[in-house]
Amino acid sequence: MTLATDLAGLDATAQAELVHSGEVSAAELVDAAIERIERLNPQLNAVALPMFEHARDAVRTGVPSGPFAGVPYLLKDLVVEIEGTPFHEGSLFLRDHVSSYTSELVTRLQRAGLVVLGRTSTPEFGMAPTCESALYGPTRNPWDPAYSTSGSSGGSAAAVASGMVPMAHGNDLGGSLRFPAAACGLFGLKPTRARVPLGPEYGDAVCGWAVEHALTVSVRDSATLLDATAGPMLGDPYPAPPLARPLLAEVGADPGRLRIAYSPRTPGGALGHRDCVAALDDAVALCASLGHEVVEADLPGLDETVGAAIGTVFDSATAWIIGYWARRLGRRPGPDELDPLTRAYWGRGRQVSAADHLLAVTDLQAFARAVARFLTGFDAWLTPTMSEPPALLGEITSTREEPLRAAERGASTVAYPLVVANITGNPAMSVPLSWNAAGLPIGVHFLGRFGDEATLLRLAAQLEEARPWANRRAPLHATLVKCGDPQGC
């Protein structure tokens, strides 16, 4: 086996330990990851914008001896920018854009020792629960390339699940980090609102719904990374509640006997796909076997008023996104520069008045208080992450004749209300505990209390120990695939 293959089986913490001990250099880690990307990306289309020479230059300059010294990393092509490098947000409208500034998050990632190798694919502006934009084409799931990675952080999910890199950036405005984690068999933590800064360009985004973090193989990588990136930036509109101690200290700590609510029902009262409900039942049994109290209970307040308010905010968010980029680029998008779904959302968003938007925010803030009251009686709320297994590629796509087709088909795969964590600002996580008979991952989802990543990470580490998932490898994984051939050379 080659060094590139050997390293593909290690999480980011283990790779960094090799650099700290002197067994492997940062340059070797980076070159090994580049080799894996070049080997696997033609089949998966996960890395949309390679930045290999940028990464090698960073290593030659010298990487900081942070917790992830020399570890290769990929940025999702959405929100987070690096000065002087291409940045497209999955859109033909931005296909010639080069960033004029570096995001604070990137500065913190680099300070932690991470080396950015490129950008991963995303649907246009993160709008759909799949990665199939007109600009980048479809990203394929390493567990079966006929299937979607979900979205919108699907390119990052495919890159990590295939072993190209041990972890990769994702962001989440309504489940966009957690859905791909479930579809690709990864751990996906959505932090508390404002835990990670969005500056210098944004104070917050879409009423504080948008958050930044990563898709990881291990719980400890997620905790260590959040320790390295958390904390407000000067001028942020508000901070997240302070943490009692580093989150890495929570990994392996006894969670105690938790009280966990669960529900198999979507907001309309229907059950999800049988595979997703089976994964939930399995997670309930596992939590009970670990000594936790598990109680069936539906989340209160998820009524038609809340649903309508969510739609209003999403529509106005699309109008804001297009308006923001039109102002930044100095022009409006041309007739063929937006995907049909984005153009449809943009049209609807321009019909939302300022009063409509603020009334929706009022309704959603009232709902958030109801969720907070509910969680005074529970440590977490458990559901399936997705309401269906990953969809076949091509199913969640729109056409000019059917511009909302992707939204309608996509909604059937993401019917469980992961957006609640974005509305409330609460932390949440998708945990990869199950696979269906077809070999596709089926995640389960825990919503935590506001500011309480600690409890979620203690529980996640306990589940990881009880049901290890890291050694369960996708068929298209760098430890298994040589020379681009799943059968070997």
Active site residues: 76, 152, 176
Q: CA nearest 165: which of 33, 264, 76?
A: 33
Distance CA(290)–CA(288), nearest Å, equals: 5
Distance CA(147)–CA(97), nearest Å, equals: 30
- Residue 230: DSSP 8-state: -
Longest dimension (CA), the chain: 62
3-class state of residue 22 by DSSP: coil
3-class state of residue 168 by DSSP: strand
- What type of residue is 293? E
Ramachandran bin of 137, using left for φ above 0, alpha for ψ from -120 to 50, beta for the remaining angles:
left
Q: Is the peptide bond before 300 cis (omega within 30 degrees of 0)?
A: no
Distance CA(402)–CA(381), nearest Å, equals: 36
If you search the block for the tokens 């087709």, which residue do you land on? 405
Q: State how beta strands 211-216 and 293-296 pair.
A: unpaired
Q: HSE of 443 in the Cβ direction (CA atoms, 13 Å)?
A: 31
- What type of residue is 199? G
Distance CA(407)–CA(318), nearest Å, equals: 13
